[in-house]
Amino acid sequence: MKTHKMIFLFVLLTTSFSFAQPLLKQKKEQIKALKVAYITEELNLTSEEAAKFWPLYNSFEDKQKEFKKEKKRAYLDRMDGSEIDKMTDKEATAFLIQMENTEDELYQLRKKFITSLKGVIPPMKIIKLKKAEEGFNRKLLKQYRDNRN
């Protein structure tokens, strides 16, 4: 009898998980579409600017996500465990250097992205981009908090 309950629970969880995957992907796509609309409106992009801007922006975001996934995750995992308490000063110094290098690489990636935008949209719109990204993130976080209550 216990085995049947375990099998039922396993099938139920597996089925729930398989239904959750498309919903999660759909939610991410919906958020991305909202972000595109928000940034396009905030920057007041012309259709010509948008046609050149969005491929660069999407490429930058993909690179940034991949970078964070590879580099940052490696050292963030170390910070979650009890390894920090066991580190020597030498290991901690090496870890700090790794963190600084990762942050510098992210900065260089963003700097290269901004340089590539200079021929696509006016400088004022590049400046407004940062504000628009932050505004969208705040709006998304507020909506998330409102929906949880």
Neighbours of 53 (CB within 10 A): 21
> How many distinct helices (H) and strands (E) make up the chain?
6, 0
d(CA 50, CA 44): 9
- The pLDDT of 114-142, averaged and rounded, is 95
Answer whether 53's CB lies under 8 Å from 121's CB: yes
pTM: 0.72
pLDDT category of residue 20 using cuts at 50, 70 and 90: low
d(CA 102, CA 73): 11
**Whether pLDDT at 2 is above 70:** no
| pLDDT tens-digit series, residues 31-60 | 999 999 999 999 999 999 999 999 999 999
**Whether pLDDT at 1 is above 60:** no
| pLDDT tens-digit series, residues 56-72 | 999 999 999 888 888 76
